[in-house]
């Protein structure tokens, strides 16, 4: 019984952690893009993540873009302290993608894909939290039923 309650609380904490992380990432993303400009970048390379069990098909995407006379080459990821850096969307080399960049520092960018991934993580975290809550309620009902003396 205690193991079940601890497990359900664990699910709730993990789900809540994902939700909090996602909300913080969303806040930072919104603040970052507030004073950004947009441009189109071209995908130059994609690398499927081979370091983990990659059932989601995560890949690192590399881009090239030009601001003024300077061409930039880098990973397609958002430059905030909390971000979802890997991309769930599959890109083809040569495909164009819109990015946001800081006019005073065009090497710092944000991508709408990281925002989408953050929303997906928030929804997933909420589902895990609710699952843990349902488990907890069921374990508490079962515990009360066992403790209630039979008449």
Are 84 and 25 a contacting pair, CB within 8 Å? yes
pLDDT for residue 40 is more than 90: yes
- Residue 103 tokens read as 């006019």
What pLDDT, on the 0 to 100 scale, is given for residue 146? 79
Mean pLDDT (the chain, rounded): 84
Angle CA 50–24–113, to nearest 5: 45
pLDDT at 150 over 70: no
Strand partners of residue 96 = 42
Residue 88 pLDDT greater than 70, yes or no: no
Write down the pLDDT at residue 9. Answer: 93
Cα 22 to Cα 26: distance, rounded to the nearest angstrom: 6
Structure tokens that stand for 65 in this block: 């873009």
The pLDDT value given to residue 55: 54
Q: Which residue from 67, 71, 81 is spatially nearest to 36, judged by alpha carbons? A: 67
Give dist(CA 114, CA 149) in Å, integer: 54
pTM exceeding 0.75: no
């Amino acid at each position: 019984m205690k193991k079940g309650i601890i497990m359900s609380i664990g699910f709730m904490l993990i789900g809540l952690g994902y939700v909090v992380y996602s909300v913080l990432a969303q806040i930072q993303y919104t603040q970052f893009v507030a004073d950004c400009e947009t441009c189109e970048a071209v995908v130059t390379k994609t690398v499927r993540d081979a370091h983990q069990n990659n059932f989601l098909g995560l890949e690192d995407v590399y881009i090239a873009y030009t601001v003024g006379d300077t061409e930039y080459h880098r990973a397609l990821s958002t430059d905030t302290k909390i971000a979802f850096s890997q991309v769930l969307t599959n890109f083809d080399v040569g495909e164009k993608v819109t990015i946001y960049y800081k006019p005073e520092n065009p090497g710092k960018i944000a991508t709408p894909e990281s925002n989408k991934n953050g929303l997906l993580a928030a929804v997933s975290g909420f589902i895990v939290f609710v699952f843990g809550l349902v488990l907890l309620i069921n374990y508490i009902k079962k515990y009360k039923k066992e403790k209630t003396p039979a008449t």
